[in-house]
Amino acid sequence: MALLRVTAALLLVCAARLGAQAARASEAQVKAVFLFNFAQFVDWPPEAVPDSQAPLIIGILGGDPFGDFLDATVRGEHRGARPFVVHRYQRVEDITRCDILFISRSAGDRPEEILPRLKNRPILTVSDADGFAERGGMIRFVTDRSRIRLQINPEAAEAAHLTISSKLLRVAEVITPTGR
């Protein structure tokens, strides 16, 4: 009897874990699409684009939470004549040229350490770490009852000479750390 109860409990736990995994997979998929979509609503300064056919690089710093989703999403896609490319970095120093950078939780626990090192470089920084936008990050994914919301810090983007479309701003929560 006790065994049965244990088995049932175990089964329940397993089911819960499986459901969470599915939810995570869907969340990662949505975030991957969002990352890809950012390229359409952000303009980079001319010096950030070496030539019209240079690849548009989406970088992941730290552990990759997307699995194959991001690669599948950008495969064969272009922005104008520029193809999308996904790069994975372990350390900030590895980042040479990058357009959109997702800072994984594994790396993003210390944004204060990472962000200053990217300061003034035309890289759109994205993370789902708590208070990322308030602490100088540009876009943060906020999970709100299974929906993904955006927090954007336009000042940070401005400082990096990135122009974020007003359309994007309209669907996001604007964060102004300086209280301006």
Q: Could you list the residues that contact other proteins (CB under 8 A)?
A: 30, 34, 37, 39-41, 77, 79-80, 147-148, 150, 165, 167-168, 170-172
170 versus 180: smaller Cβ distance to other proteins:
170
CB of 94 to other proteins, least distance (A): 29
CB of 92 to other proteins, least distance (A): 27
CB of 117 to other proteins, least distance (A): 28
101 versus 172: smaller Cβ distance to other proteins:
172
- The token pair at 85 is 């490319």
119 versus 167: smaller Cβ distance to other proteins:
167
CB of 45 to other proteins, least distance (A): 18
CA 165 to chain centre: 17
CB of 14 to other proteins, least distance (A): 30
Distance CA 167, CA 144 (A): 21
86 versus 107: smaller Cβ distance to other proteins:
86
Burial class (CB in 10 A: 0-12, 13-18, 19+), 87: middle
Query: CA separation (Å) from 30 to 22, 25, 35, 179?
Result: 12, 9, 9, 31
Task: State the DSSP H helix or E strand holding residue 166, giving kind and residue range, or none if neither.
Answer: helix 166-170
Asked whether 113 and 127 are in contact (CB, 8 A), the reply is no
Distance CA 146, CA 22 (A): 12
20 versus 171: smaller Cβ distance to other proteins:
171
